Amino acid sequence: MSNNIPLTKESHEALQEELKRLIREERPKVIQDIAEARSHGDLSENAEYDAAKNRQGFIEGRIQELQGKLARAHVVDLTGLKPDKVVFGATVTLYDTASEEEITYKIVGEDEADIKLGKISCTSPVGKALIGHKLDDAVKVVVPAGTKEYEIIEIKYE
């Protein structure tokens, strides 16, 4: 597994904001919740205390996960580059030759992928197949439903 994690600038900023929020707001709140639950007496039968401790474990785990990702992050900046081929971070408009429909995807990292928002992972079958291709290229992609054929009709770096 590669040590670097490719991220778009937007994703990097979102992860940093989440980390700040967890450290500055969520962590102190859960510590206060634990202290308050302790003040209610017997911890062996205190559901409030158990819930706060579980929440603390989740928060601390997420903080470590975010710190690790951000430490290994490689922010891909496409500004100033000519959009002549599909690369990580590119927005690609495709023509599906079977359905005769156009579809637009942004090639992003695994953590950012959300098909409903038109963001596909660079490690997905479609993402892998598109990377490196140029405008007007025909690309065949093997997907679970069979083989799809797309024509690249637009590449943008946003």
Same-domain pairing of 53 and 10:
yes
- The total domain count for the chain is 2
Which domain range does residue 102 map to? 90-157
Same-domain pairing of 21 and 67:
yes
In sequence order, what DSSP letters do the residues of 12-26 get, joined into one string?
A: HHHHHHHHHHIIIII
Same-domain pairing of 126 and 66:
no
pLDDT band at 2 (very low <50, low <70, confident <90, very high): low
List, in order, residues 6 or more apart from 31 with CB less than 8 Å away: 56
**Predicted local distance difference test score (pLDDT) of residue 68:** 93
In a domain, 35, yes or no: yes
User: Is pTM beyond 0.85 here?
Assistant: no
In a domain, 66, yes or no: yes
pLDDT at 110 over 80: yes
What percent of the chain is predicted at pLDDT more than 90? 61
pLDDT band at 10 (very low <50, low <70, confident <90, very high): confident
Q: What is the CATH number of the domain that holds 145?
A: 3.10.50.30
- Phi, psi angles (nearest 5°) of residue 138: -95, 130
The neighbouring-strand residues paired with 105 are 92
Classify 132 in phi/psi space as left (phi over 0), alpha (psi -120 to 50) or beta.
left
- DSSP conformational letter for 97: T
Residue 104: closest CA among 118, 90, 117: 118
How far apart CA 32 and CA 20 sit, in angstroms, is: 18
Contact 133, 140 (CB under 8 A): no
Q: How many other CB atoms sit within 10 Å of the CB of residue 44?
A: 7
Contact 94, 152 (CB under 8 A): yes
